[in-house]
Amino acid sequence: MKWNQLSVITSSEAVEAVSSILMEAGANGVAIEDSMDLVNFESDPFGEILDKETFSHRKEGAEVIAYFPETLFLPEIIPSIQLKVEELTTFGLDIGKHSITASEVEESDWATAWKKYYHPVNISRYLTIVPEWQDYTPNNPDEHIIYLDPGMAFGTGTHPTTRLTLQALEVTLRGGETVLDVGTGSGVLSIASKFLGAKDVYAYDLDEVAVNSAKENMALNPIATDVHVSANDLLNGVDKKADVIVANILADIIVLMLKDAHRCLKDDGTLIISGIIEDKVPMILEELEKESFVVDQLFKQKDWYAIIVKKQLED
């Protein structure tokens, strides 16, 4: 399979915002080359296990490289990406040169391109994600280590949407639950669910690459080898009754599964939805109400939201 690569030359301070714009536009992942990497390296608590030799030697500014499936026609989406990047100046961000270039890449190039920028991600006191190829010593006895090789699948833990979802899972799970993980990607949420005490976990993804990646990652984490991973479109045809349903997919896709989520959730169950960019929050809240869900908690990081919701029960 071929991938299209979009490179945005920008400033270090706009890296996160530009990455969010590219992810929102449908990128499957981003790699970042930032002149600030070496500076951050010095202060990064995980710094000592990064390989200094692999660091970018970019002299100034930053480059955000996003990977889009070839099914997305880039000339159609580049103008709106350009506009959104330019709008960042209205938030006082320096966007640097903000030039955008597109090119084609082979899958294998992308599969390894981001690896050198990927290092352990400390999600919370209890959860840390560690690249499968790195050694890591936990900082405290409560820390669970999720080993991942996401390959081509989404879910390294570095994206705010994954981090928010993991934190929402952590406040929700108590032990013994049945969990449905919709859009599992790398499988990271399923593995975390097992560490947080879930009993039966079912992971679904539409994309065969993600299904295979999730299966490989379950095998890397002995606690998660009994997670059932399969290809499925959202919750179509799923007849399980779950205590927790978790889905980190974009807002417009989440809306499509709300009816099925209601059907598959036990009366006292919890639905965790994430991947919701700020602009989409009002629409999601409206749709949740239509499907008889009530909001329990909102989590926010940067422009992204995760929402914990419950079924609205008759009095």
Binders of ligand SAM among 63-122, rule CB under 6 A? none
33 binding ligand SAM? (CB under 6 A): no
* Residue among 61 and 185 whose Cβ is closer to ligand SAM: 185
Selected binder of ligand SAM within 22, 249, 261, 276 (CB under 6 A): 249
> Does 92 appear as a known binding residue?
no
DSSP string, the chain: -EEEEEEEEE-GGGHHHHHHHHHHTT-SEEEEEETTHHHHHHH-TTGGGS-GGGS----SSEEEEEEEETTS-HHHHHHHHHHHHHHGGGGT---TT-EEEEEEEEHHHHHHHTGGG---EE-SSSEEEEETTS----SSTT-EEEEE--TTSS--S-SHHHHHHHHHHHHH--SS-EEEEES-TTSHHHHHHHHTT-SEEEEEES-HHHHHHHHHHHHHSGGGTT-EEEE-STTTT----EEEEEEES-HHHHHHHHHHHHHHEEEEEEEEEEEEEGGGHHHHHHHHHHTTEEEEEEEEETTEEEEEEEEPPP-
Selected binder of ligand SAM within 117, 154, 195, 293 (CB under 6 A): 154
Binders of ligand SAM among 191-220, rule CB under 6 A? 204-207, 210
Q: How many residues bind ligand SAM (CB under 6 A)?
A: 23
* Residue among 58 and 115 whose Cβ is closer to ligand SAM: 115
Stretch that binds ligand SAM, among 50-58, 131-139, 153-161, 299-307 (CB under 6 A): 153-161
233 binding ligand SAM? (CB under 6 A): yes
Binders of ligand SAM among 160-179, rule CB under 6 A? 161-162, 165
Name the one residue in this structure whose structure tokens are 């903000």: 98
Pattern 251-290, ligand SAM, x by CB under 6 A: --x---------------------x---------------
> Does 162 appear as a known binding residue?
yes
Residue 80 CB, nearest approach to ligand SAM (Å): 20
Give the residue ranges of the annotated binding site for S-adenosyl-L-methionine.
Answer: 162, 183, 205, 248
Binding residues vs ligand SAM (CB under 6 A) = 153-155, 161-162, 165, 182-185, 188-189, 204-207, 210, 233-234, 248-249, 253, 275
